């Protein structure tokens, strides 16, 4: 897993405000969410992955085995049932709750691209390893 153990820092974000709006996130939280540049770290041990997203506003940490459903509380407070699968260099994270959301994290060398989808909204966030 060449992406495990690396720390990625966000360098660009498109449509995150629309993504948050589609999820019903309020103005103040959206402003904060739009202002921060999170870091993402993925690690793996004995088949258990940990994905840590950190920012000066909110943090999130999930642990999972590929293909196994787990409960997740998202940073905007949704309680969802999530499954992460791996397709080559992509981790595909499906979150089922009131709305279904998908986060595809694609790893290429020192870059990680996160593509977040809900309804017909697509948000793209690019990260670079430090
Ligand atoms: C990423 C995005 C991580 C967040 C993905 C979805 C959250 C849904 C709505 C956002 C609500 C509030 C925004 C607050 C903080 C934004 C940064 C979160 C860091 C844990 O992987 O790029």
Kindly report whether the global pTM for this prediction surpasses the value 0.75. yes
Q: Report pLDDT digits (tens) over 110-127.
A: 999 999 999 999 999 999
The beta strands (E) that lie in 55-110 are given as 60-65, 70-73, 79-87, 90-96, 100-108
* Residue 15 near ligand 1, beta carbon < 6 Å: no
Q: Report pLDDT digits (tens) over 88-112.
A: 999 999 999 999 999 999 999 999 9
Helix (H) or strand (E) holding 124: strand 121-129
Cβ–Cβ under 8 Å, residues 128 and 7: no
Mean of the per-residue pLDDT values of the chain: 96
| Residue of minimum CA distance from atom 16 in ligand 1 | 33
Please report, for residues 1, 35, 91, 93, the alpha-carbon distance to residue 71 in angstroms, rounded to integers and kept in the order given.
Answer: 24, 28, 17, 12
Q: Please provide the distance, in angstroms rounded to a whole number, between the alpha carbons at the two ends of the chain.
A: 17
Cα–Cα distance, 97 to 105 (Å, whole number): 20
Residue 16 Cα to ligand 1 midpoint, Å, equals 9
Cβ–Cβ under 8 Å, residues 107 and 4: no
Strands 7-14 and 39-45, sheet pairing: antiparallel
pLDDT for the residue numbered 93: 98
Cβ–Cβ under 8 Å, residues 57 and 36: yes
Q: Report pLDDT digits (tens) over 12-42.
A: 999 999 999 999 999 999 999 999 999 999 9
Q: Point out the ligand 1 atom lying closest to the alpha carbon of residue 55.
A: 19
Superfamily holding 6-129: Calycin beta-barrel core domain (2.40.128.20)
Cα–Cα distance, 18 to 106 (Å, whole number): 21
Report domain extents, the chain: 6-129
């Amino acid at each position: 897993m060449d992406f495990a153990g690396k720390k990625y820092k966000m360098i660009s974000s498109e449509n995150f405000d629309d993504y948050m709006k589609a999820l019903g996130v309020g103005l103040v939280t959206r402003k904060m969410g739009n202002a921060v540049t999170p870091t993402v770290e993925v690690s793996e041990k004995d088949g258990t992955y940990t994905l840590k997203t950190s920012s000066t506003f909110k943090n999130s940490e999930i642990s999972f085995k590929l293909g196994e459903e787990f409960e997740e509380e998202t940073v905007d407070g949704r309680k969802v049932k999530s499954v992460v699968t791996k397709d080559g260099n992509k981790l595909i994270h499906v979150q089922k709750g009131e709305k279904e959301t998908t986060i595809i994290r694609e790893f290429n060398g020192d870059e990680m691209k996160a593509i977040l989808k809900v309804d017909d909204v697509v948000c793209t966030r690019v990260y670079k390893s430090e």
